[in-house]
Amino acid sequence: MLLGMVRPDSGSAELLGEDVAELQPETRERIAYIAEGHPMINWMSIGEAVRFTRAFYSTWNNTLVEQILDHFELSRKQKLRRLSNGQRAQVSLALAVAPEPELLILDDPTLGLDTVVRRDFLESLIQIIHRKGRTILFSSHILGDVERVADRIGIMVGGVLRVDCPTDQFRESVKKLVLDFSGPAPESFECPGLVNTWNQGSQLELVLVGYNDQQRAAIEALEPRNIEVIDLNLEEAFIEYTRGRKRSLPLFAQEQSHHDSSIGDQGAA
């Protein structure tokens, strides 16, 4: 849809200052796309796929292609239909970055890859990110990959972009608190930034955004015997945030950055 190949039912989008429905050829040359599952023309060899793809671009870094293929120990004579899922992902990466795109759009590129291949793919991706002026939009179900690669995260809940901020900011802002009471825990609790609550007998679990003195004062007013503040990793923060009370979810938003980012939806971060 971002590349104009599928029409949206409503709404609009722009890439590099142009409406995606009317992208000019010279603008398309500045954008690369890796589709989920890494579809390819299976009768071709890797070398034939390189020559075929190269014909569509006015600029092409063949040295970079050779370096990536050599790094992954891929022979130019190998047929695409005989490649493993991991090898197809590696070839897709080489073909996508060869034109030196300003914007690289990746749709779940590591889905279905084993741990070693996925790590190798991500390390290569990180090196590409560090090349000056590169922006990467990385959509993934695997939160560990997002945390490793992305400096900015977007999360959609119910079709609404609820999070758009640096990855560290989101992870550090979502906290879980466990309150212990001498007797039964309160049945309910309300305060600004509250995402969800769970009553566990003598314990009350809270998920809060932007934990601060005001929230702590409200919690201490309940007179718990003990307050434990638990830091969360990105996957835990994502789960706790998205399964909360959706109508009251606080928004995370900052001005758009020019660095790589990641975006996902509930169940597909």
Beta-strand ranges (E) seen in the chain are 14-15, 18-19, 31-34, 103-107, 135-139, 152-157, 160-166, 174-180, 194-200, 203-209, 226-231, 252-253, 261-265
The model's pLDDT over 181-191, given as tens digits with 9 standing for 90+, comes to 999 998 888 88
Angle at CA of residue 117, ends 82 and 130, nearest 5°:
120
pLDDT band with cut points at 50, 70 and 90 for residue 199: confident
Tell me which residue of 175, 158, 168 sits closest to 219, measured CA to CA.
175
pLDDT at 266: 46
Rounded to an integer, the average pLDDT of 228-250 is 77
Residue 57: is its pLDDT beyond 50? yes
Count CA within 13 A, CB hemisphere, residue 17. Answer: 4
* Domains defined for the chain, CATH in brackets: 14-139 (3.40.50.300), 167-253 (3.30.70.250)
Backbone dihedral angles phi then psi of residue 113, each to the nearest 5 degrees: -90, 145
